[in-house]
């Protein structure tokens, strides 16, 4: 895709994106890391140029790629960031710039897991009985799809607050994954969770929560990734390192 010592724009906001920025910078590439998310005080990669804010849709991104004479576009956004991914694909085509996509492998259930596949968060919302106790790890935007279920005794963990007033039975806490199974177990028990709702991001940081749910034998409503998410996908940093060294 990209030769050595080329200019690469990374659409970031994930841990994998930060790792990619460091890897590509160490290979000698000029890296620009774009952050257009809503997370407060996000973690940023070191020693790379940071672009904050959006580009103005696909056309604005294409204009930026042309103006900056970027040689490659790496989309390492969250697997469910479908709008950004669509804009990236369209912009790369308009600007005639090679595009790569980087994401973790989806999680796979083990024999002792009780996963229930859901096509969307809205679909998952229909599967829980009236008044169920549920724990949601969906992000603030994802919670909006659960608004038709004010009956739920919902315990939700988010990094940024939702842009709506939660129903009275919902409790919102602002924190990230707790990093170990024991701490996630304590949280699930404290919330009296009967269900876990999450999106299949594949991120290692989400595994302790899934293992805690397995220990408690909780049913997990696992929201599947969008069907077009695998377009042009690279699954690991080694594959990315090889791809960017190929000639355009």
Question: In angstroms, rounded to a whole number, what is the distance separating the alpha carbons of residues 36 and 123?
Answer: 28
pLDDT confidence of residue 38: 57
Q: Give 25 or 231, the one with higher predicted confidence.
A: 25
pLDDT at res. 68: 95
- In tens, the pLDDT along 26-70 reads 888 999 999 875 555 667 788 889 998 889 999 999 999 999 999
Provide CB contacts within 8 A for 177, sequence distance 6+. Answer: 137, 157, 184, 205, 206, 208, 209
- Identify the residue whose tokens are 């002792």: 112
- Reported as a single tens digit per residue, the pLDDT across 60-76 is 999 999 999 999 999 99
List, in order of start, the domains of the chain with CATH numbers.
Answer: 7-104+227-244 (3.40.50.720), 114-223 (3.40.50.720)
């Amino acid at each position: 895709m990209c030769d050595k010592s080329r200019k690469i724009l990374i659409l970031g906001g994930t841990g994998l994106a930060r790792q990619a920025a460091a890897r590509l910078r160490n290979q000698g590439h000029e890296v620009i890391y774009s952050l257009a998310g809503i997370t407060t005080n996000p973690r940023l990669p070191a020693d790379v140029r940071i672009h904050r804010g959006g580009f103005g849709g696909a056309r604005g991104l294409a204009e930026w790629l042309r103006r900056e004479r970027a040689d490659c576009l790496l989309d390492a956004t969250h697997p469910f960031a479908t709008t950004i991914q669509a804009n990236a694909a369209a912009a790369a085509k308009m600007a005639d710039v090679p595009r790569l996509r980087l994401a973790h492998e989806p999680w796979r259930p083990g024999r002792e897991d009780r996963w229930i596949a859901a096509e969307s968060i809205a679909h998952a919302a229909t599967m829980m009985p009236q008044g169920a106790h549920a724990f949601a790890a969906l992000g603030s935007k994802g919670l909006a799809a659960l608004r038709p279920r004010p009956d739920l005794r919902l315990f939700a963990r988010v990094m940024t607050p939702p842009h709506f007033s939660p129903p009275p039975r919902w409790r919102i806490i602002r924190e990230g994954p707790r990093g170990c199974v024991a701490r996630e177990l304590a949280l699930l028990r404290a919330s009296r969770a009967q269900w876990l709702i999450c999106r299949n991001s594949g991120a290692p940081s989400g595994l302790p929560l899934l293992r805690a749910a397995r220990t408690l034998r909780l049913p997990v409503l696992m929201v599947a990734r969008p069907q077009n998410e695998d377009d042009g996908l690279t699954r690991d940093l080694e594959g990315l390192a090889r791809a960017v060294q190929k000639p355009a």
